[in-house]
Structure 1
Amino acid sequence: MGTVTLKGNAIKTIGELPEVGTKAPDFTLVKTDLSQISLADFKGNKLVLNIFPSVDTGTCAQSVRRFNQEASKLEHTKVLCISSDLPFAQNRFCGAEGLEDVVMLSDYATSKFGKDYGLEMISGPLFNLHSRVVIVVDSEGVITYTEQVPEIVDEPNYDKALQALQDSK
């Protein structure tokens, strides 16, 4: 079990993040058109898993904007923005913001992703939502970087995530 904070108040997560050097656990998530997609569908690409509680909060929205900006510069790279938001809200947000270089994915249907990746919050006011996490996966499906942001209202360390992405296969 892990711990993060929300404005200084401790919140427990369901487990620990997958370890660097291990294969990323498979997942099936829902796209904004309500179709399903799995990790295998991104085979051969480097991935940034930008995971957060809700796109309707300022910090989460900023992380999507920032990774969208950075993703447009990188070849064979996909940024997957993952939350439990309904696909309709994710689609509305990207449309309003003009964001085209990220893939919005929802875990609303099963919450399995949050559990399998050990990042679902199991206490506090954001109970059952995802904690703020960035995971970088290389083109062979191996995790090369993880960050569980200690304070949920803080942004992730974009520079470290992007460096890990550039250093990976």
Structure 2
Amino acid sequence: MTQERTGVATFKGNPITLVGPKLAAGDAAPDFTLNKNLLEEVSLQDYAGKIKLISVVPSLDTGVCDAQTRRFNSEAAGLGEEVVILTISMDLPFAQARWCGAAGIDSVITLSDYKNASFGTAYGVLIKEFRLDMRSIFVVDKHDKLAYVEYLSEMAEHPDYEAAIAAVKNLL
């Protein structure tokens, strides 16, 4: 049975249930299957040997998610070739591609968890009530260990951008 965590997060003050485990720095990064587009799936192994900054957003079409993705896109240039930034949401791959094109996002890879919520349940961010992934940040080192984890307690708040970037730079 999949673990459910209550009392740990809210959406505009209303309690929500997160499905999956609570991970911590030092844990092995769970594998996942996400869609790069409708036909192409990727997993953690597709980014082997890279430092991975994983930015999780409920939907790119909302203000905070938009700002979060734009911020990490602008930070990407200063992080170098050893780092890949993945933005994960439940948005369909078509919507992600449309949004990236309209927003001029070119340094972040958007991946969709829409098909089976593989990432959401493995990383403990699937919101049971909405079938969206909760805003969170994971930094995974080159050996697929979690170096930094931020689970936000309120879905509408921004993550700690500086701490996430610092965690990536500590691995370089």
TM-score tier (shorter): over 0.9
Find the counterpart in structure 2 of residue 109 from structure 1. Answer: 115
CA distance in 2, matches of 1:21, 1:103: 24
What does residue 18 of structure 1 align with? 23
Q: Which deviates more from structure 2 when the two are superposed, residues 7-16 or residues 130-139?
A: 7-16
Query: Are 2:100 and 1:97 aligned?
Result: no
Superposition RMSD in Å? 1.2
Unmatched tracts of structure 2, length 5 or more: none
Aligned position for 1:156:
159
TM-score, length-scaled by structure 1: 0.93
**Structure 1, unaligned runs of 5 or more:** none
Work out the CA distance in 2 between the residues paired with 1:32 and 1:167.
32
Secondary structure of 1:156's partner?
A: coil
What is the total number of aligned residue pairs between the two structures?
166
Q: Please say if residues 90 and 133 of structure 2, whose CA atoms lie closer than 8 Å, have aligned partners that are also in contact.
A: yes
For 1:53, the equivalent position in structure 2 comes to 58
Match of 1:142 in 2: 145
> Residues of 1 paired with 2:20 and 2:47: CA distance?
25
Distance 1:81 1:23 in 2: 20
The runs of at least 4 aligned residues of structure 1 exceeding 4 Å deviation read none
**Does the 8 Å contact 2:20/2:120 carry over to 1?**
no
- Aligned-partner residue type, residue 43 of structure 1: A
Q: What is the letter of the counterpart of residue 118 of structure 1?
A: G
